[in-house]
Amino acid sequence: MKTKVLLKDFCKYVYYAGIGNYWSENMYPETILYKIYTIVSFSIYTVMIFLENLAALFGNFPEVEKNSAAMFFAIHNIVLTKMLLLLYHKESIRKLNFEMAAVCENFEEERVMKRQYLKVKFGILLYVVSVYLSLIAYGVESTRKAYAEGAPFYTVVTYLPYYEDDSTGASFFRVFFYATWLYMMLPMMSADCLPIAHLIMLAYKFITLRHHYDRIRAEFDNDILVLNKKVAIEKLKAGFLEGILMHQKLMYLADEIHRVFGIIMSLQVCESSAVAVLLLLRLALSSHLDLTNAFMTYTFVCSLFILLALNLWNAGEITYQASLLSSSMFYSGWHLCEPENPRRDIRQLVLISCAQAQKPLILKAFGIQELSYETFVSVARMTYSIFAVFYQRGE
CA-CA distance, 141 to 134, in Å (whole number)?
11
pLDDT of residue 343: 58
- The answer to whether 127 and 193 are in contact (CB under 8 A) is yes
pLDDT at 221 over 80: yes
Residues 277, 381: contact at Cβ < 8 Å?
no
What percentage of the chain reaches a pLDDT higher than 90?
58
Average pLDDT over residues 95-122: 94
- Give the max Cα distance, the chain: 89
Render pLDDT for 119-137 as a digit per residue (tens, 0 to 9).
999 999 999 999 999 999 9
Alpha carbon separation from 31 to 21, 26, 35, 40 (Å, rounded): 11, 11, 6, 14
Res 342 pLDDT > 80: no
Strand segments, DSSP code E, in 37-150 are none
Q: What is the number of other CB atoms lying within 10 angstroms of the CB of residue 284? A: 17
- Give residue 341's pLDDT: 62
Q: What value does the mean pLDDT take over residues 169-176?
A: 94
Q: Please state, in angstroms and as integers, the Cα–Cα distance from residue 315 to each residue in 90, 320, 321, following that order.
A: 22, 9, 10
pLDDT band at 395 (very low <50, low <70, confident <90, very high): low
Q: Where are the alpha helices (DSSP H) in 286-372?
A: 291-323, 325-330, 346-358
pLDDT at 281: 74
46 alpha-carbon distance from chain centroid:
23
- Does the structure show a pLDDT above 60 at 71? yes
- Which of 206, 14, 27, 24 is closest to 101 using CA atoms? 24
CA distance 199 to 204: 9
- In this predicted structure, what is the pLDDT of residue 340? 63
pLDDT of 261 over the 90 cut = yes
User: Residue 86: what pLDDT?
Assistant: 93
Q: Is 338 helix (H, G, I), strand (E, B) or coil?
A: coil
Task: Give the per-residue pLDDT at 254.
Answer: 95
pLDDT (mean) for 162-185: 93
Domain that holds residue 146: 3-394
CB atoms inside a 10 Å sphere around CB 312: 29
Averaged pLDDT, 348-373: 88
Question: Are 301 and 379 a contacting pair, CB within 8 Å?
Answer: no
Q: What is the pLDDT of residue 272?
A: 85
CB 357 within 8 A of CB 329: yes
**pLDDT reading at 103 higher than 80:** yes
Band (288; pLDDT cuts 50, 70, 90): low
Residue 146, Cβ neighbours under 10 Å: how many? 16
- Per-residue pLDDT, averaged over 252-265, amounts to 94
pLDDT at 196 > cutoff 90: yes
pLDDT at 74: 85
- Give the residue, 212 or 70, on which the prediction is more confident: 212
Q: Answer for the pair 294, 232: CB distance below 8 angstroms, yes or no.
A: no
| CA dist., res. 19 & res. 93, Å (int) | 12
Q: Which of 192-206, 236-250, 277-291 has the lowest mean pLDDT?
A: 277-291
Q: What is the pLDDT of residue 388?
A: 78
Q: Tell which residue, 354, 321, 337, has the closest CA to residue 254.
A: 321
Q: Is the whole model's pTM more than 0.75, yes or no?
A: yes
Indicate the DSSP class of residue 339. Answer: P
If you average pLDDT over residues 316-331, what whole number do you get?
94
Stretch 10-37: mean pLDDT: 91
Number of domains in the chain: 1
d(CA 145, CA 293): 11
Cα distances from 41 to residues 181, 187, 293, in angstroms, run 11, 10, 30
Task: Report, as an integer, the average pLDDT of 62-80.
Answer: 88
Distance CA 12, CA 384 (A): 38
pLDDT of residue 298: 85
What's the pLDDT band for 285 if we cut at 50, 70, 90? low
Provide mean pLDDT across the span 383-388. 79
Contact assessment for residue 362 and residue 319, using Cβ atoms and an 8 Å cutoff? yes
Say if residue 152 is preceded by a cis peptide, omega within 30 of 0: no
